[in-house]
Amino acid sequence: MKKLKNEKELVKKAITEGVKYGENRGVVEFEATDSQHEKIEYIYRLLIHDEVIQALPEDQVSQKSMQHKLALWASRLD
């Protein structure tokens, strides 16, 4: 897994867009107390469920790999 040049910014964008996506679908309402890790995991699983992104093999799923996958998704949004 090659790190993206601006991965931190893309992860932030992915969280912002993922929260909007989930709330617009009406499946989740994020709270201010939800951690970044919780949001990343929920958004990752939601996008897989909706077949927006392809799932990683279960033995490769980690916080870092989910962040990377969401950063890739965010890079293709515009």
What's the rounded Cα separation, in Å, for the pair 60 and 66? 9
Please report the pLDDT score of residue 78 as a whole number. Answer: 72
With cut-offs at 50, 70 and 90, classify the pLDDT of residue 2: confident
pTM above 0.85, yes or no: yes
What's the rounded Cα separation, in Å, for the pair 57 and 34? 26
- Domain limits, the chain: 9-17+38-54+61-78
What's the rounded Cα separation, in Å, for the pair 60 and 6? 22
Query: Tens digits of per-residue pLDDT, 16-63?
Result: 999 999 999 999 999 989 999 999 999 999 999 999 999 999 999 999
First CA to last CA distance, the chain: 23
